[in-house]
A = this chain, B = another copy of it.
Amino acid sequence: MPLPITPAQEATISPQAVEFLSAAEGIPIEAIQAVTVTRQAFHAAEEPVEESLIEKFNLKIENITMGGIPVLIIGSSSPDPKYQGRVIFDIHGGGFVMGTARERTALMIAGELGLTVYSVDYDLSPEVKYPIAIEQCLTVYREMIVKFGAKNIVGLSSSAGGQIMLSLIVRAQREGLELPAALAFYTPNTDLSGVGDSNVFNDGRDLVDNHVLVGAMSALYAGGVDLKDELLSPVYAELSGPFPPTVINTGTRDLLLSQCVRLYWKLREAGGKTELLVSEGMWHGFNWELELPEGIRARKAVYSFIKSVLDEM
């Protein structure tokens, strides 16, 4: 069943967005429970898109390991000399159960912003459970601090990757590690318990339903840990100081809009520079769409935030 859209909603988004929503189908809960099948279908759909992005932006791809964890290096063919030595540390999305380091977000930022990306291929659930993925990404982050210096690293994450990133930064902060120069979150999943205003009003309106997110993805990842645990759902975590400058991107149709809003106020009140980008009528992960006008605009705003932070350093 396609997602609902009325003439009043069509009036304020691009024709391309109307087309996307009219053709979109939500992910059924049964599909997520059958993880292997879902993963195969997801990767079969993504692989040609990823390859077209690599070709379009003429990206150089290299597989390495850092601290024993597989990492994909995505190199721009025309790196911005102004930002030499600066790198992106990416944690991909995919509901903890699917997705790879070669996700679109990572490819697009390398191509569009001209920074080299280090993207982590952390282990997926249900094969491994919380907090394995966070520990793997933290291992890579430690190596990256040594290699590049924290102040040259920009953290990027999407959706479930946002949970990993946020929890990782909270831990790093508590351990006294140096934090990255800036953070960019695309529609982060920071509360795995499924509460919030948009978890109600956008349920059935977004690509991801609340019962898929909470009932399936969170359950497969959490492995019995209380869904309001402060490091599993890090929007509840106590922060021991301000976060680095952070930009958060979401849309009014995003199931996770409320989580983005709550994270915004949390980081703002902790004293860090924080920017919230909300796009009209946009769904979970609309920023993934290369040609979508609202996706282009949102990515430009994220890149502009990152550049302004790096320029001020």
Q: Which residues of A contact B (CB under 8 A)?
A: 6-9, 11-13, 193-202, 205, 210, 252-253, 257-258, 261-262, 264-265, 268-269, 276-281, 297, 301
Residues of B within 8 A of A257 (CB): 252
B265/A195 in contact, CB under 8 A = no
Query: Complex: how many Å from CA A17 to CA B109?
Result: 40
Report A265 CB to chain B, min CB distance, Å. Answer: 7
Q: Contacts A264-B278, A276-B278, A279-B265 hold; do A201 and B201 have CB atoms under 8 A apart?
A: yes
Report A146 CB to chain B, min CB distance, Å. Answer: 37
Query: Complex: how many Å from CA A268 to CA B262?
Result: 23
Q: Contacts A276-B276, A276-B278 hold; do A197 and B261 have CB atoms under 8 A apart?
A: no
B252/A198 in contact, CB under 8 A = yes
Query: Complex: how many Å from CA A269 to CA B195?
Result: 33
B276/A261 in contact, CB under 8 A = no
Q: Contacts A276-B276, A276-B278 hold; do A8 and B261 have CB atoms under 8 A apart?
A: no
Residues of B within 8 A of A253 (CB): 197
A280/B261 in contact, CB under 8 A = yes
Residues of B within 8 A of A277 (CB): 276
Residue of B nearest to A191 (CB): B12
Query: Complex: how many Å from CA A195 to CA B258?
Result: 22
